[in-house]
Structure 1
């Protein structure tokens, strides 16, 4: 496997790891080091990649990135009762041009995803999500992206890509592989009315911060349906972060962002995960530790994945049919996990994107509301996108 563009984990992190207890995560993870080289990936399920690219940050002032603090924080944690193998492949350094970094990252992601290894990206500016999306061009026909962010990041797609406009590029640039885009934890005052209207017009999903904080389980189905999960660390409120990271007094708290990371992990569909917009500071131990705990919860989620979405055997599920506004809705409930899905019908007279009956993750509450003649919003948006 050709990963020549990956630089090993620093000697200072390796020295720190050598002093950790034998049970610590840093002593159990396969690490790309100067001495040992790239680890064998034959049994690895989750692979960390640092990407030291931040030149497309709209506030970029020439500073360099360093992920040593994040690694030290993660390595010192103790793993849960996990059976999966982990690797840290080191860092992709800044290329001569940003496009060089993009190429290296896309190449690495394509290799890992095709090998059924989940890449976990630690960035760098969030425009790297665009590269993550493009890595799927030759792998899956349609992609769902979840962005945990205070902003939609639609931006002006006519201008060059930046960390506040990468979603606009994803939407307008060929090949068109995006089926659904969802934002979790958005704050209205950070988004123009035009962007909010566009999200509605495109039948994309958006969950306001207040909704998410009121009931965090609301976002589980949308994360269950995602291929890519991208987290802007600035979606977390200022009091939970170090001085350089502080953007807004409002935002998700530490428990909420870790719950979201765990929901992403237990999703059978999520095949890449990233945390972006980290700005290192010598006196900041809080942000690296929060990121480490988010990574821990994501890995925990992956280790507890359950194949509960195989509906070929009737013993594995219960089926419920209800009539809503003359539309028959078919719901499925897994007997293994209690999770719910609703069927999106195949429209034979429309050149639709799905090409077959598709099951959309939903909640028990969606079924209850459907019984009360209320069309579930997720179902409605997916159905409308399918008709376009």
Structure 2
């Protein structure tokens, strides 16, 4: 049974929840308690799971993780006009080795995704993302991974997996399910030139912190194409998190990171969302409050999903053909959401990763730039990956 390794939410959290306003999330979330056991899965759309594993951290995180402060802060918030059913399944305890934890987490995520339940993972070291990715092995699909992080985390894939090398392991380990990796908010001085060159060579997407803070809406189409979103808390300014990661003087501020979490929730495709590198500090209510709000904004986004049927392109979509050099680019605009997509053509006779013409999320600016004879960079990279 995939969920047998989950321990219930602590009695102190449940006692705290009983004292909260009856309209708060405490009265909405179905909680895995010692007395009541696990909630009924078929009644849930979103589940929260803590993973008390941090052995993959290069810069050591406290070995014992406790998500009590986050839960107390989250339960005290008020829901919006939401229709989703939320469950808190408690915590996954560390296995005998980190690989044992990976396996248990993989089994849980696979089960939830198969049942169209979105897991929200709270974790220690970010190498747990590897387990989220491996959960898709049996789901017969290519995977797009988005990492909100100042680092690319490519590392040395020939060494044991860590929170600085898990992306490299995702790239080289079989089975090869990764179609695209996107980094949101990288900071150049945290990444070697070798890693930067490798990102370009593999046609992966990367967005510098400085460019996004002036145009945060560029995150939306990237999230719209993601299956897994992994958020490293060290991508946030240290003062905003109550100096949980004191050396990260630059990063996203509180409003920006909450907007990014909401973009992830709004994506019709995102099926796993993880928040990692939680470093327990005794009196860090600031960090716990911000993480609770990240969860809130993701759930808010899920409640406003449109679930547009891209297969029915003749309905509720406008089609624009734009000749650029030797290419004829096809853009589609939804008349419902006013979001844009660009078509990546399927190339017959090429052993590619796409089985049909695929729509890649884009922005209206991409369309305007194409009209000015500029090919969108993300379209070019996706097309090149398709040809490999």
TM-score interval for Structure 1 and Structure 2 normalised by the shorter chain: over 0.9
Deviation at 1:60, TM superposition (A): 2.4
2:64 counterpart of 1:64: yes
Larger displacement relative to structure 2 (205-214 or 240-249) = 240-249
Mapping for residues 312-327 of structure 1, pairs under 5 Å? 312=312, 314-327=314-327
Superimposed CA distance per residue, residues 283-328 of structure 1 (whole angstroms, 9 cap, x where no aligned partner) = 1111110000000000000011002243415231100000011100
Distance 1:74 1:327, change over 3 A: same
The equivalent of 2:121 in structure 1 is 121
Distance (whole Å) between structure 1 residues aligned to residue 159 and residue 131 of structure 2: 17
CA contact (8 A) 1:74 1:293 kept: yes
Distance (whole Å) between structure 2 residues aligned to residue 63 and residue 345 of structure 1: 48
Deviation at 1:239, TM superposition (A): 1.6
The equivalent of 1:352 in structure 2 is 352
Distance (whole Å) between structure 2 residues aligned to residue 8 and residue 139 of structure 1: 28
Could you say what secondary structure the match of 1:330 adopts?
Answer: strand
CA contact (8 A) 2:17 2:26 kept: yes
The equivalent of 1:12 in structure 2 is 12
The equivalent of 1:363 in structure 2 is 363
The equivalent of 1:159 in structure 2 is 159
Deviation at 1:3, TM superposition (A): 1.3
The equivalent of 1:29 in structure 2 is 29
Mapping for residues 154-303 of structure 1, pairs under 5 Å? 154-303=154-303
Deviation at 1:223, TM superposition (A): 0.4
Deviation at 1:62, TM superposition (A): 5.8
The equivalent of 1:73 in structure 2 is 73
Could you say what secondary structure the match of 1:138 adopts?
Answer: helix
Deviation at 1:2, TM superposition (A): 4.5
The equivalent of 1:42 in structure 2 is 42
Q: Which runs of 5+ in 2 are unaligned?
A: none
Mapping for residues 138-157 of structure 1, pairs under 5 Å? 138-157=138-157
CA contact (8 A) 2:2 2:107 kept: no
CA contact (8 A) 1:55 1:62 kept: no
Q: Which runs of 5+ in 1 are unaligned?
A: none
CA-based RMSD: 1.0
Q: Runs of 4+ in structure 1 displaced over 3 angstroms?
A: none
CA contact (8 A) 1:70 1:289 kept: yes
Could you say what secondary structure the match of 1:127 adopts?
Answer: helix
CA contact (8 A) 1:225 1:269 kept: yes
TM-score by length of 1: 0.98
The equivalent of 1:134 in structure 2 is 134
Distance (whole Å) between structure 2 residues aligned to residue 61 and residue 203 of structure 1: 32
CA contact (8 A) 2:54 2:61 kept: no
The equivalent of 1:308 in structure 2 is 308
Deviation at 1:63, TM superposition (A): 2.6
